[in-house]
Amino acid sequence: MFDNDGFDVAGITYAGLFALQHRGQESAGIAINREREITLYKNTGLVQEVFTPDILSKLKGRMAVGHVRYSTTGESSVLNAQPLVSRYVKGQLAMAVNGNLSNYQELKHRLAWDGAIFQTTNDTEIIMHLLARARMKTGRVETALSMVMKELQGSYSLVMMSPQKLIVCRDPKGMRPLCMGKLDNSYVFASETCALDTVRAEYIRDVEPGEIIIVDKDGMRTIRDNCPEPGTSSICIFEYLYFARSDSYIEGMGVHEARKNTGKILAETYPAEADLVAGVPDSGIDAAIGYAEGSGIPYGKALVINRYVGRTFIQPSQEQRSTAVRLKINVLRDAVKGKRIVLVDDSIVRGTTSARLVSMLKEAGAKEVHMRISSPPFLWPCYFGTDVPSKEHLIACHHSVDEICKMLGADSLGFMPVERLSEIVPDIKCRYCDGCFTGNYPYTHE
């Protein structure tokens, strides 16, 4: 945020991070700039755990950047928590990035051989090193950032603060979302529009792929040196399927609507004779509503979620993940007893969640369970910031749909057809990356 009105900057940044908690639950941080001095507070844990009222009351300033993290590159420790703050020749810099550099190893190797010392294993530090070096060749930090962007490959939605400027940019393929809003005369940027709504900022527009936006005391300006031909960028399709919150809009397309579209397509492609359509809370709910609308089978609740448990997948170990499903979800016995149920979830990775849910429904008396999955099967890893593991752990890499159905104990199983993904996002004016389903990635990777 860049404040021109006297808002409580730390409080607003906190509220924005709170709205984005679903994007990362390992750590949270805020760096705040008070008259060119940056103060940083970050720790492992949820936003609410990290920032007590006492800590927030000590964070004062007119400009701030914040971050919630779930790890793809680098282990989850407080050292890897973001924002990162460094002091370089021109003063302090704070930076936070959502995404993953696919040429991370190559850049790190080059910097290490140039004498760089690293304190973290995350790629934000690589960008900061490159930026500090580029700044020696040019008079402005934003020009340095534009130079650095030419060397980066992969996904990055980046927010940073120099002593006097708030600067944001999106990678030229626009793989991760980033949007801009205004709160009176102040500027707010966030990964998703749900954060703008939460802080009552008016949505202005998405940051364009490749665009750099600079906000300082003279107002806002942009650099478009790295912007590609319009329509050629590749937003991550998994943002719509799972990652984003369903009340957000990305590239002009509502996430809820996109998810409902998957349900309608599943109802067409994999009809079922059933009494009830239910969604796996939270990210399967919207697709289940779409399936119910498409099939005419009533939509209802079969599962209850304990809201105080985080997203199960984000737990790093398999043991933690299995326990978390049981901690998180329980069955509504009366709603499922004696019924044939269509259960819609957003994805199957290892199969842990679906298998457990099918067995819980059957134990509670469900007659049949027909699983419908609103993502196509995961067949490839993601190198661009979604934690899709290596092929070894992807159930669809080793088993046919029929085999998976048996392993889950389901009565039938249908995945979103990959060739119909474009129909779920009819309103976007760009391409999308479906590399985790097809192996076609917009960048090469190491």
- Contact at 8 Å (CB) between 146 and 223? yes
The pattern of x and - marking residues 300 through 339 that bind ligand AMP according to CB under 6 A reads: -----------x-xx-------------------------
Window of 145-153, 182-190, 340-348, 398-406 that interacts with ligand AMP by CB under 6 A = 340-348
Token pair listed for 201: 């900022």
Alpha-carbon span 11 to 56, nearest angstrom:
7
185 or 320: CB nearest ligand AMP: 320
Q: Using N-to-C axis directions, what is the helix angle for 352-363 and 401-408, rounded to 10°?
A: 50
128 or 280: CB nearest ligand AMP: 280
Residues numbered 141 to 160 that lie near ligand AMP (CB under 6 A) are: none
Residues touching ligand AMP, count (CB under 6 A): 19
CB of 324 to ligand AMP, least distance (A): 10
- The verdict on 345 binding ligand AMP (CB under 6 A) reads yes
Residues numbered 227 to 286 that lie near ligand AMP (CB under 6 A) are: 242, 280, 283
- The verdict on 346 binding ligand AMP (CB under 6 A) reads yes
DSSP letter assigned to residue 119: S
CB of 378 to ligand AMP, least distance (A): 8
The pattern of x and - marking residues 190 through 229 that bind ligand AMP according to CB under 6 A reads: ----------------------------------------
- Contact at 8 Å (CB) between 190 and 144? no
- The verdict on 176 binding ligand AMP (CB under 6 A) reads no
- Rounded to an integer, what is the distance from CA 225 to the centroid of its chain? 26
Token pair listed for 334: 């009366």
Q: Residue 376's closest CA among 226, 270, 225?
A: 270
- The verdict on 388 binding ligand AMP (CB under 6 A) reads yes
- The verdict on 3 binding ligand AMP (CB under 6 A) reads no
CB of 307 to ligand AMP, least distance (A): 15
Q: Residues 352, 401, 409, 431: which binds ligand AMP (CB under 6 A)?
A: 352
Q: Residue 165's closest CA among 311, 258, 36, 295?
A: 36
Alpha-carbon span 283 to 387, nearest angstrom:
16
CB of 181 to ligand AMP, least distance (A): 26
How would you label 207-227 residue by residue, b for 16+ Cβ within 10 Å and e otherwise?
A: bbbbbbbbbeeeeeeebeebb
Which position's Cβ is nearest ligand AMP? 313
Q: Residue 7's closest CA among 50, 43, 85, 60?
A: 60
What's at 245, amino acid-wise? Answer: R
First to last CA, the chain: 34
- Rounded to an integer, what is the distance from CA 189 to the centroid of its chain? 15
CB of 351 to ligand AMP, least distance (A): 5
What's at 59, amino acid-wise? Answer: L
- The verdict on 350 binding ligand AMP (CB under 6 A) reads yes
CB atoms within 10 A of CB 439: 10
Q: Residue 51's closest CA among 62, 36, 64?
A: 64
Window of 26-34, 177-185, 202-210, 383-391 that interacts with ligand AMP by CB under 6 A = 383-391
CB of 311 to ligand AMP, least distance (A): 5
Window of 84-92, 109-117, 294-302, 385-393 that interacts with ligand AMP by CB under 6 A = 385-393
Alpha-carbon span 253 to 236, nearest angstrom:
13
CB of 352 to ligand AMP, least distance (A): 3
Residues forming a β-bridge with 249: 254
- The verdict on 413 binding ligand AMP (CB under 6 A) reads no
CB of 204 to ligand AMP, least distance (A): 29
Alpha-carbon span 424 to 415, nearest angstrom:
14
CB of 320 to ligand AMP, least distance (A): 12
Please give the residue ranges that form the binding site for ligand AMP (CB under 6 A).
242, 280, 283, 311, 313-314, 345-354, 386-388
